[in-house]
Amino acid sequence: MFKKIFLLFLTATIILSACGTFEVSINQIQTPTAPAGDPTKIALEIEATSMSAFVTQQAATLWPPPPAPTVTDISGTPDTPTPQPPPGLVQPIVVYPPYDSPTGYLLGGSQNGMWLDSGATAVLLEGGEQYGIYTDKAFLYTVTGSAPAQNPPYCPAMQAIALDPKPSPASVVAIGGSWNALPRIPQELSTENDSYRQVIGDMLRANGLVQSDILLTRVLKVDLEGDGTDEVLISASRFSDESGHDVSSGDYSLIVLRKVAGNTAITIPMVTYYYLESQLLAYPNKYTLLAVMDLNGDGRMEILVGITGWEKVGTLGYEVDQSAVRNILDVRCP
pLDDT single digits (tens) 176-219: 999 999 999 999 999 999 999 999 999 999 999 998 999 999 99
| pLDDT at 230 > cutoff 80 | yes
Strand-pair partners of 260? 265
- Say yes or no to pLDDT of 7 above 70: no
Q: Note whether 93 and 108 are within 8 A (CB).
A: yes
Q: Which of 7-16, 95-104, 261-270, 288-297 comes out lowest in average pLDDT?
A: 7-16
Q: Which of 278, 294, 274, 173 is nearest to 225 (CA)?
A: 294
Question: In 3-state terms, the chain is what percent helix, strand and coil (to 5)?
Answer: 20, 35, 45
* pLDDT recorded at residue 195: 95
Q: Give φ, ψ of 62 to 5 degrees.
A: -80, -30
Using the predicted structure, report yes or no on whether residue 171 has a pLDDT greater than 90: no
The answer to the question of residue 68 being in a domain is no
**Backbone conformation region of residue 208, classed left if phi is above 0, alpha if psi is from -120 to 50, else beta:** left
Q: Which domain holds residue 19?
A: 2-62
CB distance 271 to 254 below 8 Å: yes
Q: Residue 245: which pLDDT band, with cuts at 50, 70 and 90? A: very high
On whether both 137 and 219 belong to a single domain, the answer is no
What end-to-end distance do the CA atoms of the chain give, in Å? 104
Give yes or no: residues 102 and 206 share one domain: no
In the structure, what pLDDT confidence band is assigned to residue 257 with cuts at 50, 70 and 90? very high
Classify residue 12: in a domain, yes or no: yes
Alpha carbons within 13 angstroms on the beta-carbon side of residue 265 total 11
- Express each pLDDT in 132-149 by its tens digit: 999 999 999 999 999 999
What does pLDDT average to over the chain?
80
Last residue of a domain, one of 141, 175, 209: 175
Residue 197 pLDDT: 97
Q: Say whether pLDDT at 164 is over 60.
A: yes
Q: Are residues 328 and 255 in the same domain?
A: yes
Q: What angle do CA 316, 321, 326 make, to 5 degrees?
A: 30
User: Would you state the pLDDT for residue 263?
Assistant: 86
Same domain, 305 and 203: yes
In a domain, 67, yes or no: no
Judge contact between 258 and 231, C-beta under 8 A. Answer: yes
Domain boundary among 142, 175, 208: 175
Residues 201 and 136 in one domain: no
Q: Do residues 325 and 192 share a domain?
A: yes
Same domain, 192 and 167: no
Are residues 282 and 256 part of one domain? yes
| Whole-Å CA distances, 257 to 83, 208, 308, 325 | 28, 20, 20, 9
Does residue 129 register a pLDDT over 50? yes
Give the integer Cα–Cα distance in Å for 136 and 222: 12
- Distance, in Å, from the CA atom of 93 to the CA atom of 110, rounded to the nearest integer, reads 8
Residue pLDDT, tens place only, 21-32: 333 333 333 434
pLDDT number for residue 13: 46
Kindly state whether residue 25 falls inside one of the protein's structural domains: yes
* CA dist., res. 171 & res. 168, Å (int): 6
The 3-state DSSP class for residue 93 equals strand
For residues 116 and 217, state if they share a domain. no
pLDDT at 39 > cutoff 60? no
Q: Which residues contact 261 (CB under 8 A, 6 or more apart)?
A: 322, 323
Assess if residue 329 is contained within a domain.
yes
Of all residues in the chain, the percent with pLDDT exceeding 90 is 61
Same-domain status, 206 and 295: yes
Q: Would you say residue 51 has pLDDT above 90?
A: no
Q: Which amino acid is it at 223? A: D
Whether residue 129 is found in the same domain as residue 254: no
- Decide which of 175, 195, 222 is a domain's last residue: 175
Q: What is the dihedral of CA 36, 40, 44, 47, to 10 degrees?
A: 80
With H, G, I as helix, E, B as strand and everything else as coil, classify residue 13.
Answer: helix
Q: What gap in Å lies between CA 173 and CA 182, rounded to an integer? A: 12
Q: Does the pLDDT at position 20 exceed 90? A: no
DSSP 8-state secondary structure symbol assigned to residue 1: -
The number of distinct structural domains making up the chain is 3
Task: Tell me whether residue 325 is in a domain.
Answer: yes
Residue 113 within any structural domain of the chain: yes
Closest by Cα among 172, 153, 183 to 299: 183
Find out whether 252 and 274 touch, Cβ atoms under 8 Å: yes
Residues 222 and 303 in one domain: yes
For 61-110, how does the pLDDT look when each residue is reduced to its tens digit (9 = 90+)? Answer: 333 333 333 332 333 333 444 555 566 799 999 999 877 788 899 999 99
